[in-house]
Amino acid sequence: MDIKDTYKTIDKPGTETLFKDKNSKFYGYTFPISDEEDAKDFINQLKKKHHSARHWCYAWQTGTEQPRYRINDDGEPSNSAGQPIYGQILSFDVTNILIVVVRYFGGVKLGVGGLINAYRTSAQLALESSTILEKTIDIHFVITFEYKDMNKVMRIIKENNIKITSQKLELNCNIYISVRKKNVHKIKDAFSSLYEIEIKKVEN
């Protein structure tokens, strides 16, 4: 079975985009986030920047194994803003991302169909103006061993090109490593087969 161990995301905010429909202006933004607090911070920044706008609608998603998401219509008719924005997150298959569409009302009502189209298009433009990257899903472990076993441990790390994230080398040593999800069993087996060496998953 092929294990999916990559995901798509952004690592910097995208370029501001503008979509217009019947005098209403829709500004689109994308931001990289790791949790809901990040999302709130970016939304508050935009509320300060666009303090005279009418709506700040958004959708965000975080996580790779069991993604979390939230949508917000911010006063627009139910499911006419947040859901179409979230639809673009799914369509582009990205995560750890926040998309905000800021609307300035132009005096002419667009109707629910017009709003859905405007928010979907605005989110799509914002994603198209962002640099989307593919990253690997990494699982973190700590290897615990005595100093005398250092060479054995380092040999496995070198042979498998394992990324060391941090280390504490004293009489008892801890090396923290990051392993691609699809290589986890192989790496765990390699360390577990060594006498007096312990490998344990680190919960984030």
Query: Which pLDDT value is given to residue 112?
Result: 95
pLDDT tens-digit readout, 42-53: 999 999 999 999
Residue 63, pLDDT > 60, answer yes
pLDDT tens-digit readout, 91-103: 999 999 999 999 9
The whole-angstrom distance between residue 145's C-alpha and the CA centroid of its chain comes to 34
Collapsing DSSP to helix, strand or coil, 18 comes out as strand
Residue 1, pLDDT > 70, answer no
pLDDT tens-digit readout, 17-29: 999 999 999 999 9
Q: What is the DSSP string of 112-147?
A: HHHHHHHHHHHHHHHHHTS--EEEE-EEEEEEEEEG
Q: List Cβ neighbours of 22 (8 Å cut-off, separation of 6 or more).
A: 106, 108, 110, 114
Collapsing DSSP to helix, strand or coil, 8 comes out as strand
Give pTM, 2 decimals: 0.82
Residue 2, pLDDT > 70, answer no
CA distances (Å), 67 to each of 35, 100, 118, 131, in order? 11, 19, 26, 21
User: Both tokens of residue 56?
Assistant: 């700040």
End-to-end alpha carbon distance in the chain: 26
Pinpoint the alpha helices (H) of 34-110: 36-49, 82-92
Percent of the chain with pLDDT over 90: 84
The arithmetic mean of pLDDT across residues 46-68, rounded, is: 95
Query: For the CA atoms of the chain, what is the radius of gyration?
Result: 23
pLDDT tens-digit readout, 117-171: 999 999 999 999 999 999 999 999 999 999 889 999 999 999 999 999 999 988 8
Of 5-9, 50-54, 63-67, the poorest mean pLDDT is in: 63-67
